[in-house]
Structure 1
């Protein structure tokens, strides 16, 4: 597999810059860009750059648990949502940890409250790091 990790359709990851561990993520080879469910996005300026503050529910089973985080905005991206409509989303860079590896990914911030998983991992984030077996789940736990 040329050094690539084998992952299933659902895995767990960490987002260390947001102090989020064990986040269940949907692996989606049909999506170009990864997305993270956030609430209460607030744009602000810091040192002449655009930043956002937002709330994250790090545990889907404990929705009352909310953490407030900040990130520098890389771009405002026009994205086609799962229902086929265009949305403008903030694009940020952050570090992703999976399978003992860590790398930088692009992540859009959006409302995924109607979805089963708080994060979707798209092709850009997968890069040369993984191969997906869509018939399995949680292969990195072993």
Structure 2
């Protein structure tokens, strides 16, 4: 007996390591060094000098992504998607601005929600959470820089 179920073509998932280079085409940022964190729900980008302002009745945010490890400083303006409460790994709750933007890991470009926070004390300018990875990537925690896209194309195992 044949049942009527929708058959969906599945796009194969790409592989990422525990750290990767992530680009932001809409923000003109070619790459940032990112830690892949399946324990985090949301993605977070290192941003300083945050400034919220109004453009014709719409909320916008201006911020700086500081220079780091081979990447120059970037000053960014983007539509503000909202403010959300995020609980960090140390249990501290913060209210953070977030934006919707295109994110690029390897050859794949997709829309993602990214919170803006000061990650100056962290080892990586970006934290990629599980929501951005969902149905797109599998993570191999024993590998790094699998997708390339940064200042070098080396892959370590």
Corresponding residue to 2:57 among 20, 32, 48: 48
Scaled by the length of structure 2, the TM-score of the pair is 0.83
More strand by share: 1
With normalisation by structure 1, the TM-score equals 0.92
SS for the counterpart of 1:17 is helix
54 and 3 in structure 1: CA distance in 2 versus 1, 3 angstrom threshold: same
Deviations 1:57-101 (A, max 9, x none): 2x42258x4221111111110000122111000011010111211
Provide closer, same or farther for how the CA distance between residues 2 and 67 of structure 1 changes in structure 2, counting only shifts above 3 A: closer
Matched, 1:15 2:24: yes
Q: Which runs of 5+ in 1 are unaligned?
A: none
Cα-Cα RMSD = 1.7
Pick aligned residue for 2:123 from 96, 116, 123: 116
Aligned to 2:152: none
Q: CA deviation at 1:2?
A: 5.5
Residue matched to 2:12 = 3
Displaced runs of 4 or more, over 2 A: none
* Whole-Å separation in 2 of the counterparts to 1:112 and 1:39: 9
How many residue pairs end up in the alignment? 140
> Per the alignment, in what secondary structure is the counterpart of residue 124 of structure 1?
helix
Bigger Rg, which one: 2
